[in-house]
């Protein structure tokens, strides 16, 4: 049983290494295609959004308070408020709704 675990870890390490290494070795010149360049530019933002949004809703005891905090942060960010004000306001809204809902 213990031998299998090491084989699984080795396979996972090789696959992870190949995924990171192959683009660096196969693509040596700059990418000229504008569509591909713009697609690759937005991939980190989309990935971060997809990972963060479900965590916002599930981090509180009620998804409604998480959604209210998220909407508060979006509205204040849209109005170009500072990061401290946005994060403190979102936390305050979640805290107050958690007190009311629970």
Residues 2 and 22 in one domain: yes
- Residue 4 corresponds to which tokens in the numbers above? 């299998």
* Nearest C-alpha neighbor of 17 from the set 9, 6, 28: 9
Residues 69 and 36 in one domain: no
Whether this prediction's pTM lies above 0.85 is answered by no
Residues 35 and 57 in one domain: no
H helical segments located in the chain: 2-26, 34-58, 63-78, 83-101
State which residues form the domain around 4: 1-45
Cβ atoms within 10 Å of 65's Cβ, excluding its own: 22
DSSP 28-57: -S----HHHHHHHHHHHHHHHHHHHHHHHH
pLDDT, position 1? 63
2 pLDDT higher than 80: no
4 pLDDT higher than 90: no
Residues 65 and 36 in one domain: no
Angle, alpha carbons 53-80-58 (nearest 5°):
15
pLDDT per residue as tens digits for the range 56-101:
999 998 899 999 999 999 999 999 999 999 999 999 999 999 999 8
Number of domains present in the structure of the chain: 2
Greater confidence (72 vs 27) lies with 72
Residues 24 and 67 in one domain: no
């Amino acid at each position: 049983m213990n031998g299998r675990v090491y084989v699984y870890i080795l396979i996972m390490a090789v696959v992870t290494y190949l995924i990171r290494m192959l683009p660096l070795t196969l693509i040596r010149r700059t990418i000229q295609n504008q569509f591909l360049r713009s697609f690759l530019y937005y991939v980190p933002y989309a990935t971060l959004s997809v990972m963060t949004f479900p965590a916002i809703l599930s981090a509180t005891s009620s998804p409604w308070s998480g959604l209210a905090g998220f909407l508060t942060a979006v509205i204040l960010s849209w109005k170009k408020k500072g990061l401290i004000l946005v994060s403190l306001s979102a936390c305050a809204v979640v805290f107050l709704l958690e007190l009311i809902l629970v």
